[in-house]
Structure 1
Amino acid sequence: MPLIDTHVHIDFYPDPQKVARQYEALKIYTMFVTNLPELFQKHYSSFKQFKYVRLCLGFHPQVASEYELNESLFKELICKTRYIGEVGLDYIKEHTDIKNRQIKAFEYITSPLINKGRIYTIHCKQTEDVTLDILKENGVKHAIFHWYSGKVSTLEKIIDNGYYLSLNPKMLNTQNGLKIIDRLPIDRILFETDGPFAKYNGQIVYPSYISKIYSDFDDVIPSFEQIVFKNFRRLLIEKDLYK
């Protein structure tokens, strides 16, 4: 049964092509997120022929202090992918103008013009309520909340809206992470490494580590591999219903 990794910052690895080939060789279905549409454009041709790899068109909220979203480029590139990420909101420590820039970009990225049933991988650090409201207002059907660490009350709303949450190995080592995991119904669970940022035993995560990380999760969520594969397969089917 193929393994799944829904959130990887491939361009932050020292040798992205080598890591991508490892994902492909191990038959791990993988979503490579980008932080800017310009980066998606730069890397698209490198990964478009891979069977197990999907490159996501993104605009990370933390880059909003340096860049404005190039809406025309985003719109031009959207036809090349059914996957969007990393996108979302993260403005608690930012000035009002950066907050407004993030919100404007996220509202555009999730707009009916863009979403059309695409799968989103979502960042919402201390902004989970606003993020969820925008997703719902814009009718986004398919979202994966990446490394969720917010309020349990909002978590329940995310679940009620049919969205997924991707778990990474760091969550097994924190009280809050385990609390989130304990609250999740098994049909909303996916997996991510968040490589190369979320370390495993103090080391950068590579594809060869993923089967061992799945085993660690199996101690907390029995049949973890089967659950994640089933959920991801369902998500792909749902995505194709809304083209």
Structure 2
Amino acid sequence: MMDFHCHLDLYPDARKIYAETLIKNEFTWLVTTSPRAYAATKNILPPCERLIVSPGLHPEVAERKASELDTLLEQLEPVVAVGEVGLDGSARYKESYALQHRIFSAVISRCANLGGRVISIHSRAAETEVLDYLERHPAFGLAVLHWFTGSASALRRASAGGCWFSVGPAMLASANGRNLASLMPRDRVVPESDGPFGKIAGASLMPWDAGNIACVLSSLWKLPIEQVADMLRANGRRLIEQVLR
């Protein structure tokens, strides 16, 4: 199993889930929501060969965590991966949208200046603006768009720009999510859980549940499930080998 977007530090029993994840998963990308959370998580749930921990500043907490931006920009220098960062243009976060832009712009610019990073990006209701920033800073690295919910035209634009997509069971539970997944470039799709926020039937997904997307993608892509599972594994290993290490 592989999981390319998981908030492992935010499970109630994080240490237990961490230990089990190291046994069950070939690879896990633990994204954090703030610079302080990143610093603490590295000590409590340290990175290792099969798990990376990346610094981030989630757009949903932009107002509360904006004072940590300078810390985040410092944290970006020694790492290979960044996340979760991005923009959220939904009505709930309208008041912080200008601030979100300032933070995301600074992060993308910093990544470009550092020679590029692989970035797990939140883009809900802000897909056009996210892609604008990426196109303005072509040296930013590589974008992995997490739980993409934009239009088909935005998906085509992202695909043409070389973006990857992390897709989870919760995303595929909706008709829109399934439609978008059916249109994604199959060689740039990797699994995610988004646990503990990603849920099915009210239960938080675990990092080892990410691979369950193969069953749904098999139907969407009209391919045998074994072939889809092999494709996801090959995609994941390519992303790990070429970018994350």
TM over 0.5: yes
SS in 2 for 1:66: helix
* Counterpart in the other structure of 2:186: 186
Structure 1: distance between partners of 2:236 and 2:77: 22
Q: Per the alignment, do residues 68 and 5 of structure 1 end up closer, same or farther by CA in structure 2, a change over 3 Å counting?
A: same
SS in 2 for 1:194: coil
* Counterpart in the other structure of 1:11: 9
Aligned with 2:240 (options 217, 236, 242): 236
Structure 1: distance between partners of 2:239 and 2:207: 22
Structure 2: distance between partners of 1:234 and 1:117: 17
1:92-145 Cα offsets, whole Å, 9 max, x none, are 426876222111100111114565321111101111000011012122231111
* Counterpart in the other structure of 1:199: 199
Aligned with 2:35 (options 31, 34, 37): 37
Give the conservation status (yes or no) of the 8 Å contact 1:109–1:115: no
Q: Which amino acid aligns with 2:9?
A: D
1:144-194 Cα offsets, whole Å, 9 max, x none, are 111111111010010001111111112332211111011112112111111
Stretch deviating more after TM superposition (208-217 or 102-111): 208-217
Q: Per the alignment, do residues 79 and 47 of structure 1 end up closer, same or farther by CA in structure 2, a change over 3 Å counting?
A: farther
* Counterpart in the other structure of 1:25: 23
SS in 2 for 1:148: coil
* Counterpart in the other structure of 2:132: 133
Give the conservation status (yes or no) of the 8 Å contact 1:30–1:53: yes
SS in 2 for 1:51: coil
Q: CA deviation at 1:12?
A: 1.7
Aligned residues: 239
Structure 2: distance between partners of 1:41 and 1:95: 25
Structure ranking higher in helix proportion: 2
TM-score by length of structure 2 reads 0.88
Structure 1: distance between partners of 2:79 and 2:114: 11
Q: Per the alignment, do residues 160 and 115 of structure 1 end up closer, same or farther by CA in structure 2, a change over 3 Å counting?
A: farther
Q: Per the alignment, do residues 93 and 231 of structure 1 end up closer, same or farther by CA in structure 2, a change over 3 Å counting?
A: same
1:43-100 Cα offsets, whole Å, 9 max, x none, are 1123335221111110000101223152331133223421111110013426876222
Q: CA deviation at 1:217?
A: 3.9
Show the 5 A alignment for 1:1-243: 3-93=1-91, 98-113=96-111, 116-139=115-138, 140-221=140-221, 222=223, 223-239=227-243
Q: Which amino acid aligns with 1:160?
A: A
Structure 1: distance between partners of 2:21 and 2:63: 32
Give the conservation status (yes or no) of the 8 Å contact 1:188–1:231: yes
Give the conservation status (yes or no) of the 8 Å contact 1:35–1:60: yes
Q: Which amino acid aligns with 2:74?
A: E
Give the conservation status (yes or no) of the 8 Å contact 1:47–1:54: no
Structure 2: distance between partners of 1:69 and 1:227: 41
Ranges in structure 1 where 5+ consecutive residues have no aligned partner: none
Ranges in structure 2 where 5+ consecutive residues have no aligned partner: none
Q: Which amino acid aligns with 1:44?
A: K
Stretch deviating more after TM superposition (204-213 or 192-201): 204-213
Q: Per the alignment, do residues 156 and 13 of structure 1 end up closer, same or farther by CA in structure 2, a change over 3 Å counting?
A: same
% identity of equivalent residues: 27
Structure 1: distance between partners of 2:244 and 2:219: 33
Q: CA deviation at 1:236?
A: 3.0
SS in 2 for 1:65: helix
Give the conservation status (yes or no) of the 8 Å contact 2:35–2:68: yes
TM-score by length of structure 1 reads 0.88
